[in-house]
Chains A and B, each alone.
Chain A
Amino acid sequence: MSDADDSSTDTHAHDHDHHDGPGYSTPQAAIEESTPEKLAYVMGLYVGTDVDAPDFLGVVDVDPDSETYCEVVDRVEMPNRGDELHHFGWNACSSSCHMDGLERQHLVIPGQRSSRIHVVDATDRRNPELAHVIEPEEVFEYDLSAPHTVHCVPDGKMVLSMLGDADGELPGGFLELNDDFEIAGRWDPPGEIEMNYDYWYQPRRNVMISSEWAAPKTYYPGFDMEDVEAGNYGRKLHVWNWEEGTVKQTLDLGEEGMIPLEVRFLHSPVSTHGFVGAALSSNVFHFYERDGTYHADKVIDVESREHDDWDMPVPGLVTDLLVSMDDRYLFFSNWLHGDVRMYDVSDPDNPRLADRIWAGGNFGPRHPIEGERAVHGGPQMLQLSLDGERLYWTTSLFSSWDEQFYPDEGAEGSVMLKADVDPRRGTMELDEEFLVDFGEMPHGPARAHEIRWPDGDCTSDVWS
């Protein structure tokens, strides 16, 4: 089932005019050559509810000229219940753009709770099919569990961040799959890190940065402040030697950097700058290399807000962020507040708030689109069109955490919303003609989580 029929390719030859591999030769080529997305792949979930059905990969029609615009036009059900589909990734992206014969064809879809890893063949973009399953027992043999981020790496392999050991305790690590979607082994030597979450690699700079959530047994059941006080939640970034797979530096973000989640390097392959959102502290950090070492500075501080119905000020909870393909804008979500923000990061040391939209959450309108259904959770998982003109988001964070903070999210299902972005003027506006209702699924209301485009996006494509 290998998607790499010819591996005899020099991945270091950067002829930007000619490539036959997947993706685009440069981030700017992705902007110029891509066409507006017509389909979106979205994780749909039933785990942790009384709906007796498996989680699914939803295929959403986002083509405004289509008769089924804003509808979930296909659902690939997983073979088992209880997975908690969460994040997912491709077998290949622009990091392999010079690897002739390799195609962006298979989606690797882990179950965050089950530790089961699914491989879906998306050759037919509108009707993808389940092709292969790696069962949890095979994963546990490597004393790893709780797969999260999937990135392909330039030689046709895939590396998954794993948040726990086989018992759901620490340490986590990384699992490598070969191009036949078999477990090749651990990517990292055990013991390099304790906690794990997301990661991003910048191969031209031989660097990878990983972040920290907590042990699966800590975050799986829900958020307990007792665990924060006991130091069971993360606050560090780990800077890796990408080629050697070893940690060369650890940055402690301190009390203002509690629970650093999504890690995004700028897309330019020479850049050593990036951003990470500290969810609990509700701050955004800019990380960068200077004089051979990495540094991280808090550059955006989301202030907690008083709410009549809450005893304590409500933190924003910065749960997702992304960088536009032209590296000019940073978007992030405040899941508890209910806004999505757009910052000019042309000076990454000094982000400038360009615009924001309120939709759902604890401070945004319950009905952001008049006459449409209620939106409970705030903006959460984000995805931006390659040309930077359309921002989409879903509203579920994690099944058990949704239940704590937005119990109606599971009962009524998530929504997918969209804003039209003007990257010249730094503005965005909610598209009131767009709402995908995951409350109206055949088996009942579903949560919706990560979003991907069929041909590359701002949160998965890397350039080598």
Chain B
Amino acid sequence: MVDDTDDTDDANGTATGGDGDVHRIVLTWPDGEDETLRVAGDETILDAAERADLGLPFGCLTGACATCTAHLEAGEVVHERPPRALKAHHREDDYVLCCIARPRSDCRLRVGASVQRELVSNPWK
């Protein structure tokens, strides 16, 4: 789940601090590949993936563009600033933005460029 209340310290329901723990994060790609990272609570999923040289897609790094969208399959994360690129129904469906998402537990995330495509479809087709 995306917990926007844990460790909340501003009016947007986002968190700026860490929880002091290091979490086990499993990233899975559509081709079945997976990688496991150790991510501190004050680190974003993207920063940890960059540190591990995993090449996740990203764009604005401010939560506005959704290029780094992942689907949270298990576990809990908080966004360190408002995830503006995600609509309410995306958040309810457990889509998260790796560039601003910090773990609050061990997590499993579905990643890769194709996840972003799930946010919108062709409206005329």
Binding site for B on A (CB under 8 A): 47-50, 52, 81-82, 84, 113-115, 136, 145, 164, 166-169, 216-217, 220-226, 309-315, 399-400, 403-405, 407, 410
Contacts and interface: CB of A to CB of B under 8 A. Distances in A.
A104 B112 CA distance: 40
A361 B64 CA distance: 29
A164 B57 contact: no
B117 A220 contact: no
B123 A225 contact: yes
A404 B61 contact: no
B112 A145 contact: no
B64 A217 contact: yes
Contacts of B122: 310, 404-405
Contact of A50 (B57, B61, B65, B84): B57
A309 B119 CA distance: 21
B59 A48 contact: yes
The 5 closest A-B pairs by CB, nearest first: A168-B64, A52-B55, A113-B59, A222-B120, A221-B66
8 contacts: A50-B55, A52-B55, A115-B60, A166-B62, A221-B120, A222-B116, A224-B87, A404-B122
B113 interface: yes
Interface of A is mostly: loop
Contacts of A81: 55, 58
A315 B85 CA distance: 26
B66 A220 contact: yes
Given A49-B57, A81-B58, A403-B116, A113 B123 contact: no
A70 B61 CA distance: 35
Contacts of B58: 81-82
User: Which residue, A82, A84, A410, has most C-beta atoms of chain B within 10 A?
Assistant: A82
A114 B124 contact: no
B44 interface: no
A311 B122 CA distance: 10
User: Which residue, B61, B119, B120, has most C-beta atoms of chain A within 10 A?
Assistant: B120
B50 to A, nearest CB: 9
Contacts of A312: 123-125
B84 A167 contact: yes
B116 A400 contact: yes
